[in-house]
Amino acid sequence: MCHTNGMTAVEDQFHTPVLLSEVLQYLHPREGESYLDLTGGYGGHASKVLALTRNYKGSVLVDRDETAVGHLSERFKETEVQIMHKDFCEAALELVENGHKFDLILGDFGVSSVQLDTDSRGFSFSSENNLDMRMDQSQTLTAAAVVNRWGEKELARVFEEYGEVRRGEAARVAQKIVHNRPIDTTTQLAELILRAVGGGYRRRHPATQYFQAIRIAVNDELRQIERTLELIPGLLNKGGRVGLISFHSLEDRLVKNYFAGDARRGLESQFRIVTKSPVVATRTEIDNNPRARSAKLRVAMKA
């Protein structure tokens, strides 16, 4: 039975799904196929995929953000799609343990536009707000805890590894933070970083990399991706396709290395690579949605 879900164009204003046409092209959803969206968000990708598969009952949408889950629940309330309020690693593990398999899997590892644009979430320093940065609002670790409680060496490591900042600069900023605690707001932290780095800037505020690093640490993003990648073979049916979208080199490197490592297994490889190089946004999409400029899509098929 085909369900209608009453979605409107207004709802898509919450979040513009990146690389949508490319996802549909390379995942090639077909009627009847089951779909797992590891990062359901506001349903932009899911609504288009499910419109093609028409298999709501056999599909699962996952998100760790309670605001997104609430929106997904409302958007798909007239369907039988399952919605899981968990991080994608925890959800993947539960689905594997329960023997669930899918024909299509999508993971979009970026921060959603809604998270970035909701000032109170503390992901951005465009306005003054509390240091939060939690994707899952129920977790206890916040950006404020990282900034105000973690040791100087640990902060420097986070900035160097997750922000891809030079070692000397990372150490200098970490020292500046520790010596100026407590730091209460996003703008206070951004201004302190700017002073620690020294000099002006042209294109990108130097705090951008540090906020990325703190966000990754707060949400344990890279380890979640690593663990989830290992679970994907157990979630895919033979001939099933998985598409993974990353937004910075650390994420993309994990995905690229995972598939490359699998390819080196030769006859024992679990995947056939569909996209030999990452698929990126067109100039038209970037003009319409500047956040798409760093998006990279890699797709593989279960052998």
Going from N- to C-terminal start, the domains of the chain cover: 18-114+222-302, 121-220
Give the pLDDT of the chain (303 residues) as one tens digit per residue.
333 333 333 344 456 899 999 999 999 999 999 999 999 999 999 999 999 999 999 999 999 999 999 999 999 999 999 999 999 999 999 999 999 999 999 999 977 667 766 777 888 898 899 999 999 989 999 999 999 999 999 999 999 999 999 999 999 999 999 999 999 999 999 999 999 998 777 778 999 999 999 999 999 999 999 999 999 999 999 999 999 999 999 999 999 999 999 999 999 999 999 999 999 999 999 999 998 999 999 999 999
Q: Which residues contact 1 (CB under 8 A, 6 or more apart)?
A: none
Model pLDDT for residues 241-264, shown as the tens digit of each residue:
999 999 999 999 999 999 999 999
**121-220 and 18-114+222-302 share a CATH fold:** no
Model pLDDT for residues 276-303, shown as the tens digit of each residue:
999 999 999 999 999 899 999 999 999 9
Find tokens 């398999």 and name the residue.
101
Contact 224, 88 (CB under 8 A): yes
CATH 1.10.150.170 fits 121-220, yes or no: yes
Handedness of CA 270, 272, 274, 276 (dihedral sign): positive
Query: Cis link prior to 278 (omega < 30° from 0)?
Result: no
CATH number of the structural domain 18-114+222-302: 3.40.50.150
Cα–Cα nearest to 106, from 56, 55, 59, 68:
59
Task: Report residue 105 as tokens.
Answer: 């899997």
Question: Model pTM greater than 0.85?
Answer: yes
